[in-house]
Amino acid sequence: MTPKPLRILIPGGTGFIGPHQVRYALARGHRVTLFNRGQTNAGMFTDGPNLEQLRGDRAPNPGNYESLKGREWDVVIDNPARRPRWVREAAAAVKGHAKQYVFISTISVYASNDTPGADETAAVLTTDTPDVEDGETFARLYGPLKALCEQEAERAFPGHATIIRPGLVVGAGDPTDRFSYWPVRIERGGEVLAPPGDDPVQFIDARDLGEWTVRCVEDETYGVFNAIGPAKKFTVRQMLEGIRDTIKSNATFTYVTSAFLRAQQPPARGWSDLPVWIAPEGSYAGFTQRSIAKALSKGLTFRPYADTVRETIAFYKAQTPERQVALRAGLKPEREKEVLAAWHAKRHASD
């Protein structure tokens, strides 16, 4: 069924998640307005019959929303906001001129990650410094500030706010390399250091997130949703061997224990040195086991994993040579060799 055409306002829209929303919305016949400074990926989109770009700036205090005055939209999809003031001001600018406010949040809002299967009713973080906007404190308060952003959206659009909490977002356009490290490393071949193979991982392709967000708008879906994948439990082994099978690599995997990784000097850390994975222990026992039942019941779907792998590799290879050699996550080759050597020495000593 062809959806009813909607007028969609997207602050930002040219970063990582936004472009996937824009392209999907346009393909489904919606009219899209981008509101940004025109600095990030300038020229990515050009104005057309169903796409316009308005200039403004959310960074100053107060932000500049003059270009939104006197305009009407059906919905706002707010991706980039990390400052509660940004949401408060944007919501005020469109109050009475939009019916729904979608805020893309994060699972980092949760106060605890120790319970596998925890759902959207779990407690969220807070802070007594909600106005901090820069510096180390701002970076440290990512989760609490996102939680306050959620509250601003819900306060401005009671009963008509949609809060989407993704986990690790991956795929084409990812600037962090937190998933990209693995396809790049596995394509290189040889022995690959890997965390425990049976540990769970969760992530979502940016295209799946963006497309489901648009469908939530079409269906007038309101409420709070965890948006992570895949639909069923997915392990480190499935993630890594799925990459190898997709790209036809000769890589082999040496799965080591989390205790061994912690014992290295310096430790080989989950999420940064060995991305996507965090040991499901103690306070992080549930970090990669969040319930997504609610989102699945509202139509969240996932493309084949192989598609994500192929698109990630293609995006990586389209970058400049300088960018390709400067991965922002994962172990350096020489460090990986050191840790593998330590593992084999340990195993040999115990034989």
Local confidence band at 111 (pLDDT 50, 70, 90 cut-offs): very high
Structure tokens at 116: 């596998």
Q: What are phi and psi of 134, to 5 degrees?
A: -150, 170
What is the DSSP track for 77-135?
EE-S--SHHHHHHHHHHHTTT-SEEEEE--GGGBS---STT--TTS-B---S-TT--SH
Over the stretch 32-88, which tens digit does the pLDDT of each residue have? 999 999 999 999 999 999 999 999 999 999 999 999 999 999 999 999 899 999 999
Q: Which pLDDT belongs to residue 161?
A: 98
Local confidence band at 173 (pLDDT 50, 70, 90 cut-offs): very high
Closest C-alpha among 213, 4, 252, 233 to residue 105? 213
Local confidence band at 350 (pLDDT 50, 70, 90 cut-offs): confident
Over the stretch 244-265, which tens digit does the pLDDT of each residue have? 999 999 999 999 999 999 999 9
Q: How many CB atoms lie within 10 A of CB 116?
A: 15
Q: Which pLDDT belongs to residue 1?
A: 75
Q: Which pLDDT belongs to residue 44?
A: 95
pLDDT of 10 above 90: yes
Closest C-alpha among 79, 80, 147 to residue 109? 147
Q: What is the pTM of this model?
A: 0.96
DSSP 201: -
Beta strands 252-255 and 169-170 are unpaired
Q: How many CB atoms lie within 10 A of CB 42?
A: 11
Over the stretch 207-230, which tens digit does the pLDDT of each residue have? 999 999 999 999 999 999 999 999
pLDDT of 165 above 80: yes
Local confidence band at 128 (pLDDT 50, 70, 90 cut-offs): very high
Question: How many percent of the chain have pLDDT more than 70?
Answer: 100
pLDDT of 151 above 80: yes
Local confidence band at 349 (pLDDT 50, 70, 90 cut-offs): confident
Local confidence band at 347 (pLDDT 50, 70, 90 cut-offs): confident
Q: Which pLDDT belongs to residue 211?
A: 98
